[in-house]
Structures are given as C-alpha cells and as structure tokens.
A and B are shown apart, each in its own frame.
Chain A
C-alpha cells in the first residue's frame, strides 16, 4: 500500500512539474502592461505565420486566411464595440484588438476561438478574397509599392520569401480557393505560434491567467526563413512615373544598438527634409525594420529622375558623415530632443504600446514592459558607433531613366 501511495505521489509530482513547465512556456509568450488610467484594453496577438510558411505558388495566403478566419468573429466583436485590425508582415500576422475593459475578455475569447478553433467557410473566403484583390489593385502599382518591392528583392534576394509582398499580389490572391485557405489554416494557425501583449486597466495575474488557459503548452514555434542574400551591385529599375525613387538599405545584426540606429534614421532623414536648399526633393524617409536576428535601416528619397544618382550619393554621404565624426553637441541635442518627442507620440495609443511590446517579446524574448517607452542614454559617440556598425548599403533606383535627361 505504501509503495502504491509513493508511486502515486511521484506521478502527481511529475504531472505538477510538467504542468508547471507548460504554464511557464505559455507565460513566456505573454506580456501584460497594467495601465490603470488607460480607458481601453489593447491586445496585440502576433502569429508567427508569414511568407516563409506560404507555398511558393500561393503568395498572400497567410493574409487571406487571417482575414477569413477573423470574419467569423466580426459580428461578435461589433456587438461588443470592439475593434480588430489585421496586418500582414514578412515574418507573421498582427491582430490588434481594442475593447472596453468590461468586455475585453469576451472579445479576446472570440478572436482566439476564431483563429484556433473555428473552421472557415467558403462564402467568407469569396468575400474577403474580393476585398483584398480590390485593395491590392488600388495600391500595388504605386511607385512607393514598386520601389519597396524592388528594395526588398535587392536586400533579401529575388527568390527569398521576404522579397514577396506580405499581402500577396492581386493576381496571386485571385487564384486562392476556399480549400487552399482551409488547408493553410489547419496546418499553420496554431496557438503555439502566438505571442500576446495586453495593455490597459487589467489585473496582470488575472489577464495572464485568462490567456494562459487559451494558449497550448508547446514552446513558440517559428519557421526560420532562409538567410538573406543581398545583391552586391546597385539595382536600376525602369518605371513609368514622373519622379524617381532612391532607396538605400543598410543591414544590421542581432547585436545592433537599436535606439541609436533609430535616432540615426531620424537624423539622416531630417537632413533631407524639404527646405530652401532641397527644393527638388519631394519626400525623404528613414525607418528601422527589424526581424529575428537583425534588420535594416532603410532610407527612401523621391527626387527628379535626372538627379537620381546625385541624391543616391548624397544619401550615402550623409550616413558616412555621421559615422565619420560625432555630431556637435548642440546639433545632437536638438535632434535628440525632437526624436524623443516623436518616439513617445508614436506610442500614445494603447494599441501602439501593445504592438511594440508584442514585437519586442517576439524578437528578443524580453518581457520588460517599461523598456518600450523609455530610451537609454544616447550620446553623439553612441550614434557614431551605430552608424559605423552598418554594412554597405544596397542601393535601388526606380524611375524613368531613359528620359531622365529630358
């Protein structure tokens, strides 16, 4: 009898230990930021289902599946006054849910059930496919979209999954069937690929408990994308627009100084802002795009076609000048002051903070909720070192070059 009791106790202990590990693994994929003064709860769910999971002939199926799966939850969410946004990124899908505190659990339950339990129906597929095709037809041939795709192909390699637009193309999405969506959903939309951040007036323990009960215990599963294979020569692509687009993509690795690189993107873009000395510059942008294991700083200029090479050189020179010497203290402080304000205002909605937290958790496994709204101590030297750490840029020129001299 004693031996049976001991055996039972051992089994129970093993079961408890196993359950503890499972709960820990689930909790590792959840981050909660309690904000008592915020009027709504925002929940960001990142599903690690992206271009690398899509069959080669089905670009855009991840996004279509996400739209179809969530279509069933929309009536419930509408009745609760909750909002849901769905976006496709290279590495995964983003589901942003915003709801009043008294109904956020109901809204979250509806979303999780739609993603991981409910089957899809062919009517929803037909409807969402038509909507996405219409959306893509309206945007995919704009110079900005074409320039972005050209830069992606040059940076990652033409055959790399990330060279494809995350939403697919109007042509590829139009061929997808309800059966394709059903198969893709069953294979890829599983709770072990989800990372969740919640921001708002919630009790952290209760919110975590609610979510842990709805995620399965497996560790986070992410399909690794092939290594990028950037080209080593500048790409020039003819395009029938009246302006030309110049992009310079600087890769960085996992150990990059992200705060400093983001400041660098802001400082360099600021140099190309419209002014009396840059009248012929139509637009200038700088952004940091992260992925697991690194990322890129991408600058984009819109310029007259005849000046495209000169602006490309100026862009590279601007980054090189920051790498060459620390900015004077006065200039640096002015830029930093503005940059801090812009960064903070980017996070002024709870859904923006939830998105930032979920991405941070997904990319770095960090669950530090304060880090997302605070900047470290930035100095001119730190900015210089960050610029020096960048690899040579991949340059892409898009425009009507044949007629440029006219």
Chain B
C-alpha cells in the first residue's frame, strides 16, 4: 500500500472540500474505533475532524494545525511521543504516538487541539508563512506541479488545502474563534487508536469533547486561483496524464494503476514512472506522472497518449493477480507501525464513513478479475484525459 497510500496522500493533500454531500449539513456521529496491536506497549491515536474549510476561509483548517503544532509537540515531548498533522480532502487530521500507558495524557493533548488557538500576531504570521510556503512548493517543484495541475483540471472547483492568497489575507485579520466554530462539531470527530490499548479505555479517554460554539463565521465567497502561468524549472521533461474513473471499482482501479506503472516502467527503464490511484470524496482517477531527459520526451508523450491501450493489450488473469498481490503487500508493509496503520485505516474511514473500509478494500483486491480491470479501463477511457507537460529547461550559452 505504500505507493497507493502515497498516491492517495498526493491526490488529496492539496484539495479541500467545497461541497461534500455526505458530510455537509448532516454530520456523522462521533465514533471511536480501536485496532488492537499488542506487539508493543505503544499506541497511535488519530483524530480526524471531518469538515470543510468555511466558505471564504480556504486553508483555515490547515492554518489551525500549524498554529497548534508547536504546543502539541511540546506536550507530547514530555512522554517521549510524536505528533503529526495532515489536511486531507476529507478531514483535518492530528496523530499522536507514545507509550500505551500514557493513553489519557495523549488523549488530552488531542483534545487540546479542539479549541480555537489563542495566539499572538507573531505566531499567526509565522503559521501563515508556513502554509504559504506549502502553497508555493506545489508550483515550484515539477512533480508537485504536474500533480496539482492534473487535479485542477479534473476537479476545477477544488481549493488547495493550503488555501489561497486572498483567503490567507482574510485570515490574517479575522477573528479565529468564529472560523473554528464553523468547522468544529463534536459529532464530526472520529477517533482511531492502534496499539496495545483496550477499546473501553479509549472511549473513556474521549468521553468528553468541547461543546460546539454557535458563533460561526460569516459566509463569504472563495475565489478559485488560476492554476496556470509559468511551469517550474526542471532538468528533465515531465509528462502527466489523468483519467477520471468515478464509477469504477476502487480495487480494480488500483490494480489498473499498478499494471499501468509496470507496463511503462518496463518500457522506459531509465525514466521515472509513477501511476497512482487517486481516491477522494470528489471521485476517483488514475494519474500517470513520468520524467525523463529531454530527448525521451516525445517518446514519453506518445506513451502517455496510448497508456491505457497499452495496458488493455497486456492485461490477463496472471498479470491482474500479480498486481493485486503487489498492492495488498504494500498495504501490509505500509501499516507495519501503529502510526502508519492508523493513517491507513483512518484515510479509508474518513473517505467512506465506514470503519471497515480498508479491510473491505484489502479483501476486494483478492477477488479482482481481468474482467473487472478491463471494465475499469473502459470507464477511464470514456472521458478525455487531463494532460500536463513541463519541458526541461534549456541552458543558454554565451557566445
């Protein structure tokens, strides 16, 4: 699952939620789930707030995370623990890890993240700068630029997790409490603990959560930033393509992406080839990102244009089984620490609302057939592909 998980992260990291039918308005009930892993007396607790950024305040969720992170780090340091933050298309996510004996302390650290941070101007500006740096990085680095451009073409209404310049200016002077109040509801919180802990102990640790504040922020308009202009400087040429596949079986799409990667890696052993299954609440897609020295760029372009057909020509039961096993083994490898397992299970649960979604996906991989993959490829082929290219930079020599 390593590649798949990274692909999912790549696919959702820069997206934020604008109109999400399954979560907007009616929030799911607060849930606590525990995945027992008794191998070591440690626990990873993942807390996700299933919420959009308030209209007009794109990037607010991620900004709150950056504002809170120093305090959270300082707290978990006392027990030798770790903390991480992540903003997906589905949720604002905090994860802490530490000794299982410190469950209550770690839960308290997470609960402290459920209030609007009280910060001074210096802290606010510092956090805004960090989020701005993340926004910029997406445009300055070729592989990130290719992925972000493909997402912008597939999902033109989406805003990046880091928000926009205009929203950031608004947040610079806004009262943060109403903005937070627009996002937070206790029933939107999902807790997932992985490690050597009992379910009852985890439920007890999160029995009380802060009340929701009715004083919410005024609804404002978001402006969608144009994702165009100059592409980043790159030493190699980059070619990207993405195909929407909303109605296809997720397991079959993952296998199709793996087959696509295998096919093109075998054909271009000296190139960098990634084929990823993107899956968010907005839909699914398969994305292809390739890089090679400039001389190979025409060949990559041709391969990208005929990519799905090249898989269709080679797919058979044996190849499907091998690719599906590959994805299943990567899931196991990725989830080998409590923290990673929490991330894996939590991402699936946030996306679908089903705690057992990761397990169901794993089992579905075991039954994917050649026909399923062919159907998935047909779905991908129905709509025109989104395409992006970053040419290699040309070095000028002075006469």
Contact = CB atoms under 8 A, between A and B. Distances in A.
Interface of A: 35, 37-40, 42, 80-81, 83, 98-101, 103, 334, 337-345, 347-351, 353, 373
B80 A83 contact: no
Contacts of A37: 36-39
A344 B325 contact: no
Interface string B319-352: 0000001101110110111110100000000000
Chain B at the A interface: mostly helix, strand, loop or mixed? mixed
A349 B332 CA distance: 12
A265 to B, nearest CB: 14
Contacts of A348: 40, 42, 97, 337-339
Nearest to B102: A341
A80 B326 CA distance: 8
A347 B82 CA distance: 13
Given A37-B39, A38-B336, 8 more contacts: A37-B38, A40-B333, A42-B336, A341-B99, A347-B40, A350-B39, A353-B40, A373-B40
A341 B79 contact: yes
B41 interface: yes
Contacts of B326: 81
Contact of B329 (A38, A100, A347): A100
Given A337-B80, A341-B102, A345-B80, A39 B336 contact: yes
B77 interface: yes
A40 B336 contact: yes
A274 to B, nearest CB: 13
Interface residues of B, number: 30
Contact of A340 (B80, B330, B335, B337): B80
Of A80, A99, A337, chain B has the most CB atoms within 10 Å of the CB of A337
B333 A81 contact: yes
B78 interface: yes
Given A37-B37, A81-B326, A353-B40, A341 B80 contact: yes
A349 B82 contact: no
A344 B80 contact: yes
Contacts of B41: 344, 373
B333 to A, nearest CB: 6
Nearest to A338: B80
A349 B102 contact: no
Nearest to A352: B337
Interface string B19-57: 000000000000000001111111000000000000000
B382 to A, nearest CB: 32
B335 A39 contact: yes
A39 B341 contact: yes
A338 B73 CA distance: 13
A48 to B, nearest CB: 27
